[in-house]
Amino acid sequence: MTDIEININGNIVSAKAGEMLIVVTDRENISVPRFCYHKKLSVVSSCRICLVDVEGVLKPQPACSTPVIQGMKVQTQNVKTKNSQKSVMEFLLINHPLDCPICDQGGECELQDMAVEYGSDISSFSEGKRIVTDSDIGVLIQTDMTRCIHCTRCVRFGVEIAGIMEMGGTGRGEHLKIEPFLEQGIQSELSGNMIDICPVGALTSKPFKYELRSWQMNSIPSIARHDLVGSNLFVQTYKGKVKRVVSADNDLVNEIWISDRDRFSYESLTHENRLLKPQIKVQGRWNQVSWEVALDYAVKGLNSHILNHQKADQLGGLVSNTATMEEFYLFKKILTEVGCDNIDYRLNVKNLDNTIILDSNIKLDALEKIDYALIIGTNIRLEQPMINHRLRKATKKGADIDVLNVMVFDFNYSLHTENIIAPNKIAFTLAGVLKSIMIDNGQELPDYLIVIDVSEVAKNIAYKVLNSDSSVIILGEHIINNEDASTIANLVTKIAQSTNSRTLNLSITANTLAANLVGCVPQNSGMNVNTMFVSDMRGFILLDIYPQYNFHHLGSAIKAFEKDNTFVISLNSFKDDIVAGYSDVILPIASIYETSGTHLNINNDMQSYTAAVKAPNEVKPAWKVLKVMADLLELPGFNYDDSTQVLAEISYQSQVIHTRDIKDNLASHHNGISIIWQNSSYSIDAVLRHSGTLQKTKIGQINNAYMNQTSAKTLKVSVGDKYLGVVVVITDAVADDCVFINTNQTANIQGQA
């Protein structure tokens, strides 16, 4: 755009030719009221409150839809403008119930603020106000549609951001109302953002209903920890309790949006299942004790079972990938100082000799600028909603997306092709893509590609990636336990290198990057998680572990933990019967928003945050528990007063991509039924599992084993039967020879799959 100059209120300001006047006034901090306008949504110019006086134009013009031109003269404060805005405000308040005293939006309501500045004490209208019957649109959003001023922000959000037209306007004139189109209510994984953008009290948070006013709460900046985005948000608290979570602006990470799981997971903090006091098991019975007694018991147990016998090589440390960077670091440091290299966070990987090693070399904001993406093995909309949002923006600009999945998923944008193939054919398809690319580039084929038959799917993908200027290949979580996982990752790397494509590894979710950075994997001759389970171990330290959800080899895990003369220390936030069954000491640790720490996201941004509230009762942050435990073990180098000192000590390491020889893997064929076990997106960690409202949503209740008729016949199951404890759904949407299990329940027999 060409730079021009315009005159606003007698001052010369710079602008870009063609940009809307309201964009210029916002940039220059010139106040112009608005209701329908939102910087992330399309312009509809329906509310008319942003009327301004443009010289040479008879009537006031809406600033949101008036493009600037060279020499334009605008008045935003003169009598003509003020009178126009006051008239519009009078119209907007005709039917508004004026129920500010009981409205949850009170104190942060745009309509309330504008009415004070532009409203009048007297209305010209004496007719009765209309009443709009509310629709129940789900457990997350409270509706009071009599307050609605028809700005259509919620409607446009659904169409343009969420990708689902769930709300719309019906009726005409005074019968016009905004309501959901679908009987089951709002189903989007981003639906809570409609609460933030509603300028009145028509849409508010149902879990927060009638709780507090905005001015009563403290607002603390924080980071969401459920995925590899690390969305920025504000935690709003009152008297030491988290009452609400809202989004924060960061265009490079989450823009101004957050997912529903980031917004509503705070409910778990007050769940009745919270661990509140340390416990020790004496002669098979649990006793609540003080921290001094519990830590003394834990340290004496480690010494008597392991350290006094010089058996540190028989101690294991396992940690969830949701821990903070500081917790990962201290956890590893304790084990290293006692002479133990047995540490791992890769708890759900079936075969750790067959792992995904793949670089992520594209920034989040760059995703919306691509012209082509190949998505492999992920229901990206539910599993990584904020990344999916970026891809949706790319498709709106013309990007094509091809998919290789084992099942048809509900994407909220159009796909170029959706290819549903069996898990054991994914590697061969990608090998065909690589072969086609190398032939087109005139490269000599390695032996393992010569024998590969190139399918039409592979040819089409190769053509697209070769003819794209900015492409990305995305590898998802469903590949983690694929028999060809390492081969698939290596092929993706080679395809990207041959086409100058970038790659995005979504299998490294939560805070996995931080775990890798500080080295929470076996060093030297240390054992990985699966090796520990089949070895002669004397003890374990477990951080935020819930076996029925975390481990692929559940049976082996519990057997190892319950073995006689094995001492187990568990650091957890919530009560769990299985944990209580094998543990000797349970130490209650702070949950999300109750501890300080650092999250390393996919951009490699180290985002640190402070505790928004103090943990309840005798609960302590995990990093403090680890520090005190190290002191009691008389280990050197643990003189920390706060978590920032731990972060300062961490040495930042570069991550290196390793490739593997894929010849032998490609030569093998896998027979039988493959099983992909994926926790539902509202069950991926203990915090989400204890959020009652999220569990009542449609997404939270996903709990099915999907297979086609051929696979069902092979497994001898029917619709409604249970397979591996999960209800069977038979559908043609699933590839042959596989079962896709998407569940919100415990993985009680996952390891047997």
pLDDT in tens, 112-151: 999 998 888 778 888 888 899 888 899 999 999 999 999 9
- The CATH number of residue 716's host domain is 2.40.40
First to last CA, the chain: 58
The answer, yes or no, to whether residue 752 has pLDDT greater than 50, is: no
List, for residues 647-666, the tens digit of each pLDDT value. 999 965 544 445 555 544 56
In a domain, 507, yes or no: no
Q: Mean pLDDT over residues 337-345, rounded?
A: 97
Q: Are residues 432 and 522 in the same domain?
A: no
Q: Are residues 146 and 245 in the same domain?
A: yes
Where is the domain boundary, 237, 270, 303? 270
Where is the domain boundary, 250, 270, 290? 270
Domain of residue 342, residue span? 279-352+512-649
- The CATH number of residue 253's host domain is 3.30.70.20
In a domain, 118, yes or no: no
Q: Mean pLDDT over residues 600-613, rounded?
A: 97
CA–CA dist 574, 696 (Å, integer): 20
In a domain, 663, yes or no: no
3-state helix, strand and coil shares in percent for the chain, rounded to the nearest 5: 35, 20, 45
Position 124 scores a pLDDT of 83
Contact 491, 435 (CB under 8 A): no
Distance (Å) of CA 710 to CA 408, 433, 741, 745: 17, 28, 16, 26
Which tokens hold the place of 384? 């990584």
The single-letter DSSP state of residue 750 is G
- The CATH number of residue 49's host domain is 3.10.20.740
CA–CA dist 207, 198 (Å, integer): 17
Q: Are residues 292 and 397 in the same domain?
A: no
List, for residues 29-44, the tens digit of each pLDDT value. 999 999 999 999 999 9
Summary mean pLDDT of the chain: 93
Dihedral sign for Cα atoms in the order 174, 180, 186, 190: negative
List, for residues 487-531, the tens digit of each pLDDT value. 999 999 999 999 999 999 999 999 999 999 999 999 889 999 999
Q: Are residues 400 and 454 in the same domain?
A: yes
Work out the pLDDT band at 485, boundaries 50, 70, 90: very high
Distance (Å) of CA 84 to CA 19, 45, 59, 559: 23, 15, 9, 75
Q: Are residues 641 and 679 in the same domain?
A: no
DSSP-assigned states of every residue in 90-138: HHHTSS----GGG-TTTTS-HHHHHHHHH--SS-S--SPPP--PPP---
Q: Mean pLDDT over residues 149-174, rounded?
A: 92
Position 751 scores a pLDDT of 41
The answer, yes or no, to whether residue 319 has pLDDT greater than 80, is: yes
In a domain, 727, yes or no: yes
The answer, yes or no, to whether residue 638 has pLDDT greater than 70, is: yes
Position 1 scores a pLDDT of 67
List, for residues 703-718, the tens digit of each pLDDT value. 999 999 999 999 999 9
Position 653 scores a pLDDT of 54
Q: Give how many domains the chain has, as a whole number.
A: 5
Work out the pLDDT band at 181, boundaries 50, 70, 90: confident
Position 184 scores a pLDDT of 72
List, for residues 230-289, the tens digit of each pLDDT value. 999 999 999 999 999 999 999 999 999 999 999 999 999 999 999 999 999 999 999 999
List, for residues 365-376, the tens digit of each pLDDT value. 999 999 999 999
What's the 3-state SS for 178-196?
A: EEECCCCCCCCCCCCHHHH
Q: Are residues 432 and 543 in the same domain?
A: no
Q: What percent of the chain has pLDDT over 90?
A: 89
Contact 205, 143 (CB under 8 A): no
In a domain, 121, yes or no: no
Q: What percent of the chain has pLDDT over 70?
A: 96
The answer, yes or no, to whether residue 219 has pLDDT greater than 80, is: yes
Q: Are residues 560 and 685 in the same domain?
A: no
CA–CA dist 752, 646 (Å, integer): 40
Q: Are residues 335 and 383 in the same domain?
A: no
Where is the domain boundary, 443, 460, 493? 493
Burial tier of 392 (Cβ tally within 10 Å: 0-12, 13-18, 19+)? buried
Work out the pLDDT band at 670, boundaries 50, 70, 90: low
Q: Are residues 304 and 370 in the same domain?
A: no
Q: Are residues 307 and 406 in the same domain?
A: no
The answer, yes or no, to whether residue 753 has pLDDT greater than 60, is: no
Place of tokens 């891809």: 391
Q: Are residues 242 and 333 in the same domain?
A: no
Q: Are residues 189 and 317 in the same domain?
A: no
